[in-house]
Structure 1
Amino acid sequence: MMKKYDVIVIGAGPGGMTSALYASRANLSVLMIDRGIYGGQMNNTADIENYPGFKSILGPDLSKKMYESATGFGAEYAYGTVQAVEDKGSFKIVRTDNDEYETSVLIIGTGSQYRKLGVPGEEEYGGRGVSYCAVCDGAFFRNKEVIVVGGGDSAIQESLYLSNLASKVTVIHRRDQLRAQKVLQDRAFADDKINFVWNSNVTEITGDGNKVNGVKVLNTKDNSESTVDANGVFIYVGNTPMTDPFKSLGITDEKGWIPTNERMETKVPGIFAIGDVRAKELRQIATAVGDGGIAGQNAFEYIQSNN
């Protein structure tokens, strides 16, 4: 038989786990579904310094604490990749690669994934010098030279992490100034191991057939071309939403993000969206947690009003 829940949360990142906490504390039956371990991208973050209550905490440690809270009032957890969702009005059907579920309320917290450069060599040298996670792969480049592509918070935060391992970190950014928080910029500019290449786009990742040996760069001001030697390339140029299973519901915008109102409600009654998957400006752990609390509480109110 198809398993039934009051609330199903797709995605067990900080927003999803907070939704599960709030909904289960309201005595609703709750299932969290995720295709990987709980915590999402927090598990790929070394030091989290901007989450209230902790001056600094390891990403996996914060994930574990949130999971313990989320399941403390009876919320369940299941592995699975969601293939499709059907809106049946008063209930929704969620189909994964393992099971099918029925729910009164659906909360989407699937987050986003790293955007790729789309240049020659990126796919070829994936796992052989090209990475999107410094915490995962930084140790392979101890005392070696690496490149970080990007200028936002993630790019600079991971550059600082890599500077503790690598002999040299070169940040390549398409603009003439960073977009990262001022505190991160100040640390990076003060770090002797971190260098910057401004107004430049990576046009190709080069290698010897087995591993990366550098990149080709195009200057956006004078169209000059150059090369930067390196043993590894870490790419942080933004994210794309993981919303493919939900596009048939008509709740995504032209870029794939999910717009909501302040109650985290989508266009479809009974379907909420939270965290990095939403069309919003600031995508941080703290904002995802806020979204999750709002959605979890409003899921309870939605069910109450429809009983």
Structure 2
Amino acid sequence: MQPQQMDIQAAASVPVPSRAGTEAGFGPEQAARYLGLHRREFAYLVEAGLLAPIGRSSAGTLRFALSALDGVAAEPLDWAAARSAEARCPSPWRELAGSASERARLVDGVTSALRAAGVDAWARYSAAADRWTLDWAPSRGGGPGREGVVELLPLRLVRAVDAQRLVLLGPLGQTMHWAHAMLQPGVACVLDVETTGLGPADRVIEVAAVDAHDGSVLIDTLVHPGPDITIPAGATRVHGITNSMVAGARPWSAVLPKVLATGHGRPTDRPRLQQRLRQADDRRPRPRARRRSGQAALGAGVAVPDEAPLDVAGHHHPPSARRPAPRPR
């Protein structure tokens, strides 16, 4: 039975791509609405190989041709049951691509293959989402990457990835690979500052940075807070820095270039870092300031967050022979 297709203008509030020339196609959400389906049932069509993407957008989103959507709409499937399926109930198309036990066996086979190759890999299943997640720890060299694992997948699992019924590298795996990348030589550093207090107008009086790879000190220097500015006794009790210690230190304007030079990050990271560091040395009010340790990671894949706490007193420092131990409270 040919399903009645929904008007895309009303259903998705987007124009129908032109059929003339090369079809731009729909993303998954638009394509599901075009067919009158929920995303879950649409995903089972993709996993079953009844609907293949024509490519990806610049953002990585799968695209589906209008001709392919019209073609699958003519398939003799139980469209009425699929359209009326409730989210809290199993989908009538759940095993359109094959049994759930077969998919589990295939995922287990890939996990075992990775382990046999010396990769620490594991998989977990979410019954609520009917979705597998395959994670693996990066090796000493950082691999294998996602593309390398895709090459190990049988066809059904490749389609399951497209259908988001199999996720390669969930949040845990992504975090492990990100951390491994950040710990490589020359990629990232950890920045820490000390200030005269916790307010937005307080001044930087020490800045330090260590290489995230081996902990080597890249910069560790006291900073003069400026004319007629003194360090309150309460701040000294926290970080141990006194007025006499910073009396002969260089001003922030002289320290800032070296601080920026320690960041191995992309050029796009540096303006934002420079803005945050300059704000720590002026009296303009700053939104989203956090009152906690002033640390920020700078690296090829790390942009300093908007709320980077560079204007507050920190509590972690690289070794320094200049600073006495804080007095007991």
Shorter-chain TM range is under 0.3
TM-score by length of 2: 0.20
Structure with a larger share of its residues in helix: 2
Q: Which has the larger radius of gyration?
A: 2
Greater relative CO, 1 or 2 (CA 8 Å, sep 6+) = 1
Higher strand share: 1
Q: TM-score, normalised by structure 1?
A: 0.21
